[in-house]
Structure 1
């Protein structure tokens, strides 16, 4: 395995991002990692190795700040081989009870920050003629659950962005994967990682029941972040990584179930679909 690769990982002070950074450093990789607070990141990683680890305080919605972090990474390591857009958080609640500012904020963090990082790093990867971009999506972006409409919308946007980005950059030797996990024990359902609005409106039973069921699983999710981190490292060593990678048995069941339902519906309405064309 080539451990000379340089990784740039966002949202690295907790959860899957932190686990990934620790595994990368243990395996001998060079890592630039971002968080809103560099010292918090440094303390969480617990490694003092200026030769291989560069903690960066970055506002991912400030393009100048993102550009500066890419420049700092190049200054420290000379190149960037793998980019992991991991920063993000969840939002649960009915759309009519979610404030407009909260909706804008989650799109800023979950979608626009991903685009900002990609825009900044692409000139570097194009010049190198190589590179690998991993965008962290969610199975919710393809097969969502009641009460997660806004969050699902952000992750669907990440998936669509990744799909077309892969087509755009293929000629430059740059690969793209959108990773779409189900529930993992990363603290995702804890207060600092989830914007949760409890519904006060009569009805919305599917939303309320789903929310309570999900919140009750906090810390007991089936997904293992240690195994997920190892999979991401394996992906970067692959000559032909997948465009979509679902992680976890629940993700597989939800995605395969929706694919089957979509195929059935598509065929049932085929005549109507094609009747819209000029004959």
Structure 2
């Protein structure tokens, strides 16, 4: 294990990001971690080691702020080997009741912020001719549940971005993985991490029952953040990490079922698909 690597982790003051940062520091890695509040991040991490830990206050909606944090990381540690785009939040509700400003906000955080961090880091990774980018997506970006349409759209966008990014940067020795977990015991379903759009519209029974089930499951999710963090660290040491990695049994099951259904549908409509060509 090469624990001299430098990691840059966004959204590190809680949830999977915080668990990952703690495990990285325990393992001897050097870590730059972003949060909106440095003091909260320091208290959450509980390990203040200026030689290996760089807490950064970063507004991920501000490209200049992102650029400055990258420059500060390079000035402190000399390089960045692994980027983890972890910052994000969920949104559950009915799309016709979701305000446009709320839709734009979640795309800004879940998609555009990740793209902008990648933009800022790529010049340094290209110069190194090495690097590893982990974008934290969700199984919901591939197999959504009722009520999660807008959130699923953000994670589907992040997955598509990751797929093509991997093709773009392969020649520079840079690898990309989109990690797509199911439910993990983080603070994802708490008020600070979830936009819960209430509804007074009659019907939408699938959305309402799903929302109740998900919120009732807070703190009971089957996913273990410690195990997920260990897997992410192992990925960074792998010579050929996967492009997609579904994390959790539920994520694997849902993805496998959809792939099988898509394959069957593709074949069932094959003649219609190919009939659209000239000739």
TM over 0.5: yes
- In the superposition, the TM-score normalised over structure 2's length comes to 0.99
Q: Equivalent residue of 2:175, what SS?
A: strand
CA distance in 2 between counterparts of 1:213 and 1:47 reads: 36
* Structure 1 outlier segments of 4+, above 3 Å: none
Unpaired segments of 5 or more residues in structure 1?
Answer: none
Q: How does 1:101-112 map to 2 (within 5 A)?
A: 101-112=101-112
In the alignment, what sits opposite 2:160? 160
- In the superposition, the TM-score normalised over structure 1's length comes to 0.99
Task: Give the total of aligned pairs.
Answer: 279
Q: How does 1:47-126 map to 2 (within 5 A)?
A: 47-126=47-126
Unpaired segments of 5 or more residues in structure 2?
Answer: none
Once the 2 structures are TM-superposed, how far is the Cα of residue 151 of structure 1 from its aligned partner?
Answer: 0.1
Q: Tell me if 1:262 matches 2:256.
A: no
Once the 2 structures are TM-superposed, how far is the Cα of residue 21 of structure 1 from its aligned partner?
Answer: 0.2
Q: Equivalent residue of 2:254, what SS?
A: helix
Q: Equivalent residue of 2:179, what SS?
A: strand
Once the 2 structures are TM-superposed, how far is the Cα of residue 222 of structure 1 from its aligned partner?
Answer: 0.2
Q: How does 1:222-261 map to 2 (within 5 A)?
A: 222-261=222-261
Once the 2 structures are TM-superposed, how far is the Cα of residue 34 of structure 1 from its aligned partner?
Answer: 0.1
Once the 2 structures are TM-superposed, how far is the Cα of residue 162 of structure 1 from its aligned partner?
Answer: 0.0
Once the 2 structures are TM-superposed, how far is the Cα of residue 194 of structure 1 from its aligned partner?
Answer: 0.2
CA distance in 1 between counterparts of 2:31 and 2:73 reads: 9
Q: Equivalent residue of 2:192, what SS?
A: helix
Q: Tell me if 1:217 matches 2:204.
A: no
Once the 2 structures are TM-superposed, how far is the Cα of residue 200 of structure 1 from its aligned partner?
Answer: 1.1
CA distance in 2 between counterparts of 1:259 and 1:78 reads: 42
Once the 2 structures are TM-superposed, how far is the Cα of residue 199 of structure 1 from its aligned partner?
Answer: 1.9
Once the 2 structures are TM-superposed, how far is the Cα of residue 61 of structure 1 from its aligned partner?
Answer: 1.2
Once the 2 structures are TM-superposed, how far is the Cα of residue 271 of structure 1 from its aligned partner?
Answer: 0.5
